[in-house]
Amino acid sequence: MIAGKVVGSLVSTRKSDKLVGNKFMIVEPLRHMSADTRQIIAIDVIGAGIGEYVMVAQGSAARIGCDMPDAPVDAAIVGIIDEGGIIEED
Amino acid sequence: MIAGKVVGSLVSTRKSDKLVGNKFMIVEPLRHMSADTRQIIAIDVIGAGIGEYVMVAQGSAARIGCDMPDAPVDAAIVGIIDEGGIIEED
Amino acid sequence: MIAGKVVGSLVSTRKSDKLVGNKFMIVEPLRHMSADTRQIIAIDVIGAGIGEYVMVAQGSAARIGCDMPDAPVDAAIVGIIDEGGIIEED
Amino acid sequence: MIAGKVVGSLVSTRKSDKLVGNKFMIVEPLRHMSADTRQIIAIDVIGAGIGEYVMVAQGSAARIGCDMPDAPVDAAIVGIIDEGGIIEED
Amino acid sequence: MIAGKVVGSLVSTRKSDKLVGNKFMIVEPLRHMSADTRQIIAIDVIGAGIGEYVMVAQGSAARIGCDMPDAPVDAAIVGIIDEGGIIEED
């Protein structure tokens, strides 16, 4: 998974029927989590708000792990990181 | 998923039988969505036009989520982003 | 999928039994299709020749979409792009 | 798989039910193992400690290989590298 | 698949039960095969030696294609490239 910050959302009216009812959040990986600043569009099954730090699962884990095995989803917010919840001891 | 702009299309006469009938669109990820400008060829099950902004699902999500579980497809346009539909609050 | 040019081939005598009978082509993604020049080894189920422009599917799509669900294959040429078949309207 | 060092951990109280009971470790790939320093959040089924060098499996291998086929997990620590256990002969 | 050179191996005593009995080889992709020098840890089902050039399959292809569908494996050496077996005609 990667850790990132929810920086926005995305509205799509014309979309796959299987995506209806989902929220699409824009997540920006933390600086050390990605080679570059590369934002991801992830569905949100946890209820994360703008500005929160989250864990994002990608690939089939997003689809299957969020009980949407047949939906065209390749990224999902699967956890909200606690305040002070990133503990690094290099 | 990533967000990008449809910038072209691709014509392939000799192709896998399982791809017959599909449109192949060239999608350029938005600048913040990719480490570099890297275009993707995605099938289009929504009916996106050149110049539209779209969501693209990659990997098994494209194949399974678009009801083509047996086709050699690894990217699909799964939603058209509304005008003004990208809401960023950094 | 990505679009690329077939620039070579690869010979492997000692290989997985499940790969016997396949051709391994070296495909170089088009300049805009990849962050860097990164070649891919793809099996070829279409009959592409050196110098031809092709579509390559990656991941489980290559294996399952080419009727080799049990083979250790993660990339396949799934279409030959027509001459003049890349239509870009930026 | 990639080889990396466990450099921290991550605490998430609000998360997918399927993730309850897991530890989330921050793994930094070894310098030669990644194009850039890009950290990964991996579950840990082996019991690795901070500072240890580990093997991380990504994608469906993490989920299925760690007996969590239905969980939104895309990376897992699957082995601890022995001291002096990286043998390179360039 | 990618083509690379076996440059080392890795010893892991404490690992997933499903990995017991496997050899873990360090493969360095050929210069044109990767955006950067990024080594991969791959299991070896072919018997490749240090210094040999090999094909590596990644993702679910490694696991399923090497008859280890339940193991946490995301990369495998699936062929040894013949001497002079890389034929490029740019």
Task: Write the secondary structure of chain C as one string of H (helix), E (strand) and C (coil).
Answer: CEEEEEEEEECCCEECHHHCCCCEEEEEECHHHCCCCCCEEEEECCCCCCCCEEEEEECHHHHHHCCCCCCCCCEEEEEECCCCCEEECC
Overall average pLDDT of the E13-35 stretch: 89
Beta bridge partners of B57: B76
Beta bridge partners of B16: none
A-chain residues near B2 (CB < 8 A): 40-41
Question: What are chain E's partners, defined as 3 or more CB pairs within 8 angstroms?
Answer: C, D
- Residue whose C-alpha is closest to residue C4's, from C28, C38, C35: C28
Say whether C47 and B71 touch across the interface (CB within 8 A).
Answer: no
Is the per-residue pLDDT at A35 higher than 60? no
Residue of B2, B6, B15 best to disrupt the C interface, most CBs of C under 10 A: B15
Is the per-residue pLDDT at E12 higher than 70? yes
Say whether C61 and B74 touch across the interface (CB within 8 A).
Answer: yes
D-chain residues near A42 (CB < 8 A): none
B-chain residues near A39 (CB < 8 A): 3, 30, 32-33
Cα(E4)–Cα(A82) distance, integer angstroms: 41
Cα(B56)–Cα(B40) distance, integer angstroms: 9
Interface contact C15, partner E, CB < 8 A: yes
Beta bridge partners of B5: B28, B53
- Residue whose C-alpha is closest to residue B64's, from E41, A42, C60, E78: C60
Torsion angle of the four alpha carbons D4, D10, D15, D17, in this order, in degrees rounded to the nearest 10: 60
Nearby residues of D55 by Cβ (< 8 Å), 6 or more positions away: D1, D2, D3, D77, D78, D79, D80, D81, E10, E12, E15, E24, E41
Overall average pLDDT of the A41-46 stretch: 95
Residue A28 contacts residue D66 (beta carbons within 8 Å): no
Residue B80 contacts residue B62 (beta carbons within 8 Å): no
Question: What are chain D's partners, defined as 3 or more CB pairs within 8 angstroms?
Answer: A, E
What's the structural domain count of chain E? 1
pLDDT of residue E75: 97
* Residues of B (16-75) whose Cβ lies below 8 Å from A: 30, 32-36, 45-47, 55, 57-62, 64-66
Is the per-residue pLDDT at E33 higher than 90? no
Whether residue E89 is contained in a domain is answered as no
Is the per-residue pLDDT at C10 higher than 90? yes
- Residue whose C-alpha is closest to residue B61's, from C30, D38, D12, A22: A22
Is the per-residue pLDDT at E32 higher than 90? no
Whether residue A88 is contained in a domain is answered as no
Say whether A39 and B62 touch across the interface (CB within 8 A).
Answer: no
Overall average pLDDT of the A35-48 stretch: 85
Taking the alpha carbons of E67, E69, E70, E74 in that order, is the dihedral positive or negative?
Answer: positive
pLDDT of residue B89: 79
8-state DSSP, D64: H
Task: For residue A31, give the chain D residue with the closest CA.
Answer: D38
C-chain residues near E33 (CB < 8 A): 38-41
The parent domain of residue C28 ranges over 2-80
pLDDT of residue D90: 63
Beta bridge partners of E10: D86, E24
pLDDT of residue E31: 75
pLDDT of residue B88: 87
Collect the ranges in chain D with pLDDT lower than 50: none
Q: Report residue B81 as tokens.
A: 């982003």
**Residue listed under structure tokens 């840890």:** E41
pLDDT of residue E41: 96
Question: What does chain D come to in residues?
Answer: 90
Whether residue A38 is contained in a domain is answered as yes
pLDDT of residue A20: 97
Whether residue A41 is contained in a domain is answered as yes
CA distance B87 to chain C (A): 23
Higher per-residue pLDDT: E31 or B45:
B45
**Residue listed under structure tokens 């730090």:** A53
Closest CB to B88: pick one of A14, A26, A35.
A26
Say whether B57 and A39 touch across the interface (CB within 8 A).
Answer: no
Residue of E46, E78, E83 best to disrupt the C interface, most CBs of C under 10 A: E78
Is the per-residue pLDDT at E30 higher than 80? yes
Whether residue C90 is contained in a domain is answered as no
B-chain residues near A18 (CB < 8 A): 65
pLDDT of residue C36: 55
Whether residue E18 is contained in a domain is answered as yes
Whether residue B86 is contained in a domain is answered as no
CA distance B7 to chain C (A): 5
pLDDT of residue B31: 75
Least confident of A40-54, B64-78, D21-35, D72-86: D21-35
Say whether B15 and C80 touch across the interface (CB within 8 A).
Answer: yes
**CATH number, domain with residue A46:** 2.40.50.220
Whether residue C6 is contained in a domain is answered as yes
Say whether C46 and B15 touch across the interface (CB within 8 A).
Answer: yes
pLDDT of residue C63: 98
Say whether C87 and B7 touch across the interface (CB within 8 A).
Answer: no
CA distance E14 to chain C (A): 27
Is the per-residue pLDDT at A31 higher than 60? yes
Say whether A60 and D60 touch across the interface (CB within 8 A).
Answer: yes
E-chain residues near C11 (CB < 8 A): 81-82, 84-87
Question: What are chain B's partners, defined as 3 or more CB pairs within 8 angstroms?
Answer: A, C
Residue of C78, C80, C82, C83 best to disrupt the B interface, most CBs of B under 10 A: C78
pLDDT tier at A89 (50, 70, 90 boundaries)? Answer: confident
Question: What does chain B come to in residues?
Answer: 90
According to DSSP, the β-strands at B24-29 and E40-44 are: unpaired
- Which amino acid is it at A15? K
pLDDT of residue B37: 55
Question: What does chain E come to in residues?
Answer: 90
B-chain residues near C76 (CB < 8 A): 72
